Amino acid sequence: MQVRGYNGFSYADIAESMRLTKASLHYHFPSKAELGRRLMERYTGNFLAALGRIDATDANARERLSRYVSIYADVLANKRMCLCGILAAEYATLPKSVKAEVTRFFDANETWLAGVLEQGRRSKDVNFGGPAIETARTITASLEGAMMLARAYDDAERFHRAARRLLADVAGSRSASERQVTT
């Protein structure tokens, strides 16, 4: 799904890659919607665990945001897309249960980002205008879009440049040398 999306994969694709029969997949996942929902749950759980690992460090807000970007960069480096990003592009055709999981993923990301941004604003580590949730939504949308364009151009550096600029902008009034962020 991270390569071809929900509508571009089949049970046969999964069975072949896992060396299973389609019948065994259907036994555990009677419908494609159930399979998609369960994959989304697992993906979201893994992503939230990665955010938990970031939180377990004593990194400041700027470093946490940089590590967040690195999660996206790692996915792109493996020639994949964020699963929820690719599914968001197909949202109109997804089963309701999968749609709900896509929304849950983005809600969790935005909530986490808003918390990091608020903590960073209090510590004066980042400087942005407006509500933290709006900046969190901008970060999520920008990273997802940057992934799509990097994929379309087969140019990962396009993503990295956009991410560096995004993080520098969130850093706000810092000098140019302080805003240099690597992903």
DSSP 8-state symbol, 20: -
CATH for 45: 1.10.357.10
Task: Compare 137 and 32 and report the one with higher pLDDT.
Answer: 137
- The Cα 176–Cα 96 span in angstroms is 45
pTM assigned to the model: 0.83
With respect to residue 183, please indicate whether it lies within any of the assigned structural domains.
no
Going by C-beta distance under 8 Å and a sequence separation of 6 or more, which residues neighbour residue 24? Answer: 15
Residue 139 lies in a domain: yes
In tens, the pLDDT along 53-107 reads 999 999 999 999 999 999 999 999 988 888 888 888 899 999 999 999 999 999 9
Alpha helices in the chain (DSSP H): 11-18, 22-28, 32-55, 61-77, 83-89, 96-122, 132-153, 156-171
What pLDDT score does 48 carry? 95
Residue 109 lies in a domain: yes
The percent of residues in the chain predicted with pLDDT above 70, rounded, is: 94
Q: What's the domain count of the chain?
A: 1
The boundaries of the domain holding residue 62 are 32-171
What's the chain's average pLDDT?
A: 88
Reading the block at residue 130, the tokens are 């407006």
3-state secondary structure of 101: helix
